[in-house]
Amino acid sequence: MSYLGIDVGTNAIKAVMIDSSGNIIFEKSIDYKIYFNNCYAEENPYDWINGFKKIMESLPERPESMAFTGQMHTFVITDDYEKPVRNAILWSDFRGYKYSQFLIKKYGLKNLINETGNYPLSNFSLLKLLWIKYNEKQNFKKMKMHL
């Protein structure tokens, strides 16, 4: 029996497979490009998918189970067919800063913290969504919520 762990990290997708005794029987890491521009940080979600496919094709055996981890606060919008509309906006992207300030001015910091339990940090998903809404109207219109 073997168990596979996959981490879709910021710089690479990484995999480790262990046997039932905890011995490592497979390791692989596939790097992908991060697109930086001033305070922007993005990745192509298809790079994650292609990296995952390469890892799965490289496995020495079929795992009994698999576990995934991924990037926190990375934002991907998809269309009606669950296909990415644009590059993913990474957790380290700060383009939403002015929307953080807008929310504080409109609702007050104390109210925001009372309602959400958080300071409106520019790397949170809501602020990325607001940035897309006001800066990429065509992509915002293509976006579909999937439950």
User: DSSP string of 22-45?
Assistant: S-EEEEEEEE---EEETTEEEE-H
What per-residue confidence (pLDDT) applies to 56? 97
30 has pLDDT over 80? yes
What per-residue confidence (pLDDT) applies to 119? 92
Banded model confidence at residue 93, pLDDT cuts 50, 70, 90: very high
d(C-alpha 18, C-alpha 60), whole Å: 11
94-138 confidence digits (pLDDT tens): 999 999 999 999 999 999 999 999 999 888 899 999 999 999 999
Classify strands 40-43 and 65-70 as parallel, antiparallel or unpaired.
unpaired
143 has pLDDT over 80? yes
What per-residue confidence (pLDDT) applies to 72? 83
Banded model confidence at residue 145, pLDDT cuts 50, 70, 90: confident
Give the closest residue to 144 by CA, choosing from 77, 86, 88.
77
To 5 degrees, how large is the angle CA 44–CA 46–CA 47?
70
Helices (H), the chain: 45-58, 97-107, 109-116, 125-135, 137-142
146 has pLDDT over 80? no
